[in-house]
Amino acid sequence: MRIVDLIRKKRDGHELTVEEIKFIVGGYTRSEFPDYQMSAWLMAVILRGMSGAEIATLTEAMLHSGVTLDWSQLPGKKVDKHSTGGVGDKTSLILAPIVAAGGLFVPMISGRGLGHTGGTLDKLESIPGFNVNLPPERMREVLSQCGMVLVGQTEQIVPADKKMYALRDVTGTVESPALICASIMSKKIAEGIDALVLDVKTGSGAFMKKEEDAVHLAALMVETGKRMGKRVAALITDMNQPLGLYIGNALEVTECIEVLRGGGPADLRDLSLDLSAWMFYLGEKTKSVEDGRRLAEKMIASGAAFEKFCELVSLQGGDAEALRSPKRLPQAKNQVGVRSHHAGHVQAIDCEKIGIASLVLGGGREKKEDAIDPAVGIVLHKKLGHRVGKDEPICTFHYNSDARLKEAESLIHASYRIGQEPAPAADKLIRKVIES
Ligand code: URA
């Protein structure tokens, strides 16, 4: 087999066989062909799509590119949550400690920033010393000791996703239901979990802008999980504006700490509690989602979730004191407000542009080898439905270099539609639930 023939086959819209897909995934993981050929193949998939059978094979090939984890000797259910990606989407850092404090195991494998969206690993690495690259033996120790572990794909665990994810990030090849399903489900099945909650984002800041596309992606992932014997539910949630107020790695950690300490913005707190509730329910800790929500609220009110997060950070080499005094997290040298050109009400937000503005400030990557700046980002002052005065700040940039400040500012102005009519606040956060 030759990779160039398989690129052409997908380019021309034909279905690939099991052997061909295994050849592509295995060959790329072992570096038998270069990034430019894999990029061409990924782009062909974006343009031509994949059949259900191709998606199932791709998911399994990625899953078996490394080892799968087995926690059967740990007493209790193992559950996880994964999001398809959004702006300011930081719920993992809140719900994992809630659910671990509530008595379930959370062995979470996450990703880095992807396209205009942020990534859990980059957020965690903004905590000084935090190590997301643990070998399976150390994962086991951390998980059994504190009920949760937060890591990335490694050379041993879903290495195919590690390589393909980094390549997709910078080649415009994220927005494919097939690639997203295989990327997420290969990681989640490799984790050795019993149940999974999917947060499938829809709206201007999501990869699936239209709700019907999000529902299609959710159904694909729920079906894949069910075939693999997992209990899965997908929540279709709104991403027409950033979640919470903070965007950027260390800033988002700060906002998560606020929620874990009983404060924080209502939308972020509510979605984190609802996702935790579903995890408790699917993990059979509670008899209903409503009971799960009550348990989640209790874990915050008692301080147990915050203490769990501190414990986890210490176990993974991080500075837990930085959670108690967030000023110890990386801080940008400069701050500047971005002022509105008009008075009125916020009618709409092109949320993807806000994600790109944060990336342009240094919070994301444009090339695989780019280093990100953990301190930079955006603090929003105005969200959907809010009144804005002329020259009033819409948001504040936290930045270290002014090289691309103007570009980031233009993106913010282009993303906010401010009109005279009073505008409704955001749609409800959870639009639909799809269960297996
Ligand atoms: N999250 C992932 O892990 N993979 C994707 O492709 C998109 C979101």
Ligand 1 atom nearest to 182, measured from its CA:
6
Structure tokens at 213: 């596309």
Ligand 1 atom nearest to 117, measured from its CA:
8
381 by Cβ neighbours in 10 Å (0-12 / 13-18 / 19+) ranks as middle
Q: Using pLDDT thresholds of 50, 70 and 90, give the confidence band for residue 423.
A: confident
What is the rounded average pLDDT of the residues 223-230? 94
| pLDDT at position 427 | 79
Q: What is the pLDDT of residues 277-316, one digit of tens each?
A: 999 999 999 999 999 999 999 999 999 999 999 999 999 9
Cα separation, 27 vs 13, whole angstroms? 21
Q: Using pLDDT thresholds of 50, 70 and 90, give the confidence band for residue 260.
A: very high
Domains of the chain, residue spans: 3-49, 79-326, 330-419
Q: Which fold has domain 330-419?
A: Aldehyde Oxidoreductase; domain 3 (3.90.1170)
Ligand 1 atom nearest to 184, measured from its CA:
3
353 closest CA partner among 25, 87, 122: 87
Q: Measure 104 CA to ligand 1 centroid, in angstroms.
A: 24
Q: Which of 81, 114, 171, 224 to mutate to test the pocket of ligand 1 (most atoms within 8 A of CB)?
A: 114
Q: Measure 200 CA to ligand 1 centroid, in angstroms.
A: 10
With pLDDT > 90 as the criterion, what percentage of the chain qualifies?
98
Ligand 1 atom nearest to 111, measured from its CA:
3
Q: Measure 380 CA to ligand 1 centroid, in angstroms.
A: 25
Q: Measure 108 CA to ligand 1 centroid, in angstroms.
A: 14
Q: Which of 84, 189, 202 to mutate to test the pocket of ligand 1 (most atoms within 8 A of CB)?
A: 84
Secondary structure tally for the chain: helices H, strands E: 17, 13
| pLDDT at position 30 | 97
Structure tokens at 285: 């800790």
Q: Is 168 a catalytic residue?
A: yes
DSSP string, 278-313: HHHHHTTSSSSHHHHHHHHHHHHHTSHHHHHHHHHH
Q: Which of 110, 126, 183, 415 is catalytic?
A: 183
178 closest CA partner among 167, 186, 170, 188: 186
Give nearest CA residue, ligand 1 atom 5.
180
Q: Measure 422 CA to ligand 1 centroid, in angstroms.
A: 36
| pLDDT at position 59 | 97
Q: What is the pLDDT of residues 2-25, one digit of tens each?
A: 999 999 999 999 999 999 999 999
164 closest CA partner among 74, 284, 43: 43
Q: Is 161 a catalytic residue?
A: yes
Q: What is the pLDDT of residues 207-221, one digit of tens each?
A: 999 999 999 999 999
What is the rounded average pLDDT of the residues 27-45? 98
| pLDDT at position 90 | 98
Q: What is the pLDDT of residues 180-201, one digit of tens each?
A: 999 999 999 999 999 999 999 9
What is the rounded average pLDDT of the residues 403-422? 96
Give nearest CA residue, ligand 1 atom 3.
184
| pLDDT at position 436 | 82
Q: Is the pLDDT of residue 133 over 90?
A: yes
Structure tokens at 284: 């059979």
What is the rounded average pLDDT of the residues 143-157? 96
With pLDDT > 70 as the criterion, what percentage of the chain qualifies?
100
| pLDDT at position 208 | 97
Q: Mean pLDDT in the chain?
A: 97
Same fold yes or no, 3-49 and 330-419: no
Determine contact, residues 260/273, Cβ cutoff 8 Å: no
Q: Which of 116, 163, 187, 285 is catalytic?
A: 187
| pLDDT at position 425 | 81
User: What is the CATH number assigned to the segment(s) 3-49?
Assistant: 1.20.970.10
Give nearest CA residue, ligand 1 atom 2.
184
CATH 3.40.1030.10 fits 79-326, yes or no: yes
Q: Measure 335 CA to ligand 1 centroid, in angstroms.
A: 31
Q: What is the pLDDT of residues 121-132, one digit of tens each?
A: 999 999 999 999
φ/ψ of residue 376, rounded to 5: -85, 165
Q: Which of 168, 201, 353, 365 is catalytic?
A: 168
Q: Which of 80, 89, 122, 161 is catalytic?
A: 161
Q: Measure 61 CA to ligand 1 centroid, in angstroms.
A: 16
Ligand 1 neighbours, Cβ below 6 Å, are 84-85, 111, 114, 174, 179-180, 183-184
Q: Is the pLDDT of residue 365 over 90?
A: yes
Q: Which of 22, 78, 82, 308 is catalytic?
A: 82
Type of residue numbered 221: M
Q: Measure 312 CA to ligand 1 centroid, in angstroms.
A: 24
Q: What is the pLDDT of residues 101-125, one digit of tens each?
A: 999 999 999 999 999 999 999 999 9
Determine contact, residues 20/5, Cβ cutoff 8 Å: no
Q: Is 187 a catalytic residue?
A: yes
Greatest alpha-carbon pair distance for the chain in Å reads: 63
| pLDDT at position 426 | 80
| pLDDT at position 239 | 98
Burial 272-310 (b: 16+ CB within 10 A, else e): bbbbbbbbbbbbebbeebeebbebbbebbeeebbbbbbb
